[in-house]
Amino acid sequence: MKTKLFMFAVLVALTLSVYAQSTDEKPFKIGVGALIGLPVGDMADFASLAFGFDALCEYAVAPEFAVTLSAGYLDWAKKSGLSGVKFGLIPVLVGAKYYFAEKIYGSAQLGISFSTTSGGGSAFTFAPGVGMKLTDNIDLLLKYQSASKNGGNTSFIGLRAGISF
């Protein structure tokens, strides 16, 4: 798994360096977002809501294609009657955006989520989605995100509202 992530990072770095040599313009954006979602899979039994925030960097490799890097925090609102350990994740993801039209895009990210629970470790994470740019700086993304470890997963279907600079 570490080898695959390393090879993906090398591929992204090579793509960025080739693009940097071919143009003077470097369309780089950074932004922040908030998300809210409904837990699915294993988490649906324990949580009623997923919520969090993230920072997202986007680098346009071509007019319709960009590579992304994001990191954030995700928390879960436990269902009533459940008590115990607070559970949160810190997802760190790399991926891509492809614009199908001027304002509509598809997004796919892979990475690792780190548990905030003592001894929780880390989990492979993936997050596909479909988004829409409302303005040049504001967008909405409908996504599915799943962190898998030892046969279990923490997943949600959610909506991310973001602003970029």
The pLDDT tens digits for 70-121 are: 999 999 988 876 666 678 999 999 999 999 998 999 999 999 999 998 888 9
Domain at 27-164: CATH code: 2.40.160.20
Q: What is the pLDDT of residue 82?
A: 65
Residues in the chain: 165
Of 108, 66, 67, 116, residue with least CA distance to 91 = 116
* Residue 114 burial class via C-beta count within 10 angstroms: exposed 0-12, middle 13-18, buried 19 and up: middle
Return the domain boundaries, the chain. Answer: 27-164
Q: What is the pLDDT of residue 133?
A: 95
Q: What is the pLDDT of residue 53?
A: 97
* Residue 131 burial class via C-beta count within 10 angstroms: exposed 0-12, middle 13-18, buried 19 and up: buried
Task: Give dist(CA 16, CA 14) in Å, integer.
Answer: 5
Q: What is the pLDDT of residue 67?
A: 97
9-13, 23-27, 142-146: lowest mean pLDDT where? 9-13
Q: Three-state DSSP class for 23?
A: coil
